[in-house]
Amino acid sequence: MTYRAPLKDMLFGMKELAGIDQVAQLPGFEEAGYETAQAVLEECAKLNEGVLAPLNWEGDKNPGAWKDGVVTTAPGFKDAFSQFTAGGWQGLQHPAEYGGQGLPKTIGAACTEMVNSANMSFALCPLLTDGAIEALLTAGSDEQKALYIPKMIEGTWTGTMNLTEPQAGSDLALVRTKAVPQDDGSFRISGQKIFITYGEHDLSENIVHLVLARTPSAPEGVKGISLFIVPKFLVNADGSLGKRNDVYCASIEHKLGIKASPTAVLVYGDDKGEVGPGAIGYLIGEENRGLEYMFIMMNAARFGVGVQGIAVAERAYQKAVQYARDRVQSRPVDGSLPGSAPIIHHPDVQRMLMTMRAYTEGCRAMAVVAAAAYDAAHHHPDAEVRKQNQAFYEFMVPLVKGYSTEMSLEVASLGVQVHGGMGFIEETGAAQYLRDAKILTIYEGTTAIQANDLVGRKTARDGGAQARAVAAQIEVTEGELAKRDSVAARSLLKRLREARQAFTEVVDFVAQNTKAKPNAVFAGSVPYLMLAGNVVAGWQMARALLVAEDKLAAGEDAEFMAAKIATARFYGDHILSKVRGLRDAIVEGADSVTAMPLESF
């Protein structure tokens, strides 16, 4: 079985939870209502199911190669990239004035999920190009925007982000790449960057590297970092390609997963190009504000990585369901069949499949609601409404990135477990999803870095105000559940109320102790992130249950709505129910994290 896009669930979340028709009332999105969303998603599904998904397993086995500085991508990738860009998918969310389609993130997030479910290694190239476009839109000059963005949107060129160096991973204060100013206003860039996704490849004519570097006069630390455009080939004033720049791929990494995505070591200033020693680069925005600009790329990428988690979880779930239907093993424990039956009849297999499904649907709902907030934050005519939505979206980003990626590991691991011994054999394909999922908790900021962001910037900084505003919205949903008399609604109400109360107790603990007892708070930062993500995803599942019950009562799509209710109830009973234990570990268990002397480890 190959991939089938979960269009019904995507469109349900988009319409009923994210309010796509309200998004379509925002200036600039007038044509982007439900019907447009449906048409776009259906077309996107065709490309991903028919072209990209069949290349996923092949790319894992034959991931392309590096030779003498040149990277040849996996079989089929080049043709697939041509079809992807010809369809306009790279420009889906980017402004029409540069050749994009200007559609809302609410629609774009679903398309991003499909591409990543179909082929995550492939999807990383468009993801990084999106980030580069966002950074240029925000901080680039009019000339830079006009020169680079249209080519990236049409897919003739791609983009990268160059942060990491051998000594500078998460701590970008240690960046040492140099940028020496020249008389013509350009800079000469020299240094080495590692872990550069699609830093070299054969999919496009040019690669636009966005590079963090220091000028000679820069202060130490993160305040002295600037951002530069360093194209693989220099660009002439008319947009044509000029000389080969002095940036080369020294090697590509051999990795646990996402094998078909070339991860490059790039060397700047090795005097191998046609421009003399030092790569030619161009300052983006102002000197020493590079980290600020790069965070624009990183925030866009962090949301995208969260969607990658949802995507790989969906693919693992589909694979596991198919196997559970086909694999005959053992008689059902309730005697419902006289002999051996497909393993989907076994309660524990059903538990695993329901866990996979509930996690995936909960995180998908959380992501699409966050995407709608992003659209309102950028397009709503009322400044106060924009501000509120921006605060909500920023609070959601570490949850979408952190919780969705951590859950994808659990889901992919369960997918292997459903397959039993065959899951441990590469030929079944189940293991690839587990290997691919692991990187999601690491790149674009590890889970701990997302947790630090949630604690420091998103909770302690405002004394927990935004977190409590979210809790207040959850309480409104509890009120709606309380009006229902169904078993599912009553069960979910109990779980959601307990989870929300635990969440607010943790928010109070974080807000009150971050300055006075930082070790105590940060010892529980990742558990806080997981708790918050769990609660918010559970809240969206509760909202989904309310809609599904109404539609089921009206006779609308009975099978889908009944399944949604069952999944929401399961989420409450088996996933939301974990929140209380997390609360206890955070609020009452901090001392035991740091009690052991370091020399005793």
Measured CA to CA in angstroms, residue 267 lies from 177, 193, 449, 573 at distances of: 10, 7, 27, 52
Contacts of 343-346 spanning 24+ positions with Cβ under 8 A: 343/418
Q: Which pair of structure tokens corresponds to residue 19?
A: 């309010």
Among residues 96, 164, 83, 93, the alpha carbon closest in space to that of 130 is found at 93
State how far the Cα of 202 lies from the Cα of 209, in Å rounded to an integer: 15
The DSSP output letter for 73 is P
Task: Name the residue with tokens 């080969």.
Answer: 244
Q: Are strands 226-231 and 206-213 parallel, antiparallel or unpaired?
A: antiparallel
State how far the Cα of 540 lies from the Cα of 567, in Å rounded to an integer: 12
Written as one letter, the residue type at 315 is R
Report the SS3 class of residue 69: coil
Strand partners, 191: 268
Q: Which pair of structure tokens corresponds to residue 171?
A: 């701590």
State how far the Cα of 105 lies from the Cα of 103, in Å rounded to an integer: 7
Report the SS3 class of residue 85: helix
Written as one letter, the residue type at 211 is V
State how far the Cα of 178 lies from the Cα of 278, in Å rounded to an integer: 9
Please state the length of the chain: 601
Neighbours of 32 (CB within 10 A): 23
Q: Which pair of structure tokens corresponds to residue 137?
A: 């839109």
Q: Which pair of structure tokens corresponds to residue 382?
A: 């009322």
State how far the Cα of 125 lies from the Cα of 109, in Å rounded to an integer: 16
Q: Where are the alpha helices (DSSP H) in 347-464?
A: 347-379, 383-419, 430-438, 447-455
| Angle, in degrees to the nearest 10, between helices 558-570 and 347-379 | 100
Q: Which residues are catalytic?
A: 444
Are 379 and 28 within 8 A, CB to CB? yes
Q: Which pair of structure tokens corresponds to residue 443?
A: 């790149």
Count CA atoms within 13 Å of residue 516 on its CB side. 5
State how far the Cα of 453 lies from the Cα of 528, in Å rounded to an integer: 11
| Angle, in degrees to the nearest 10, between helices 430-438 and 53-61 | 80
Are 590 and 520 within 8 A, CB to CB? yes
Find the largest Cα–Cα distance for the chain.
85
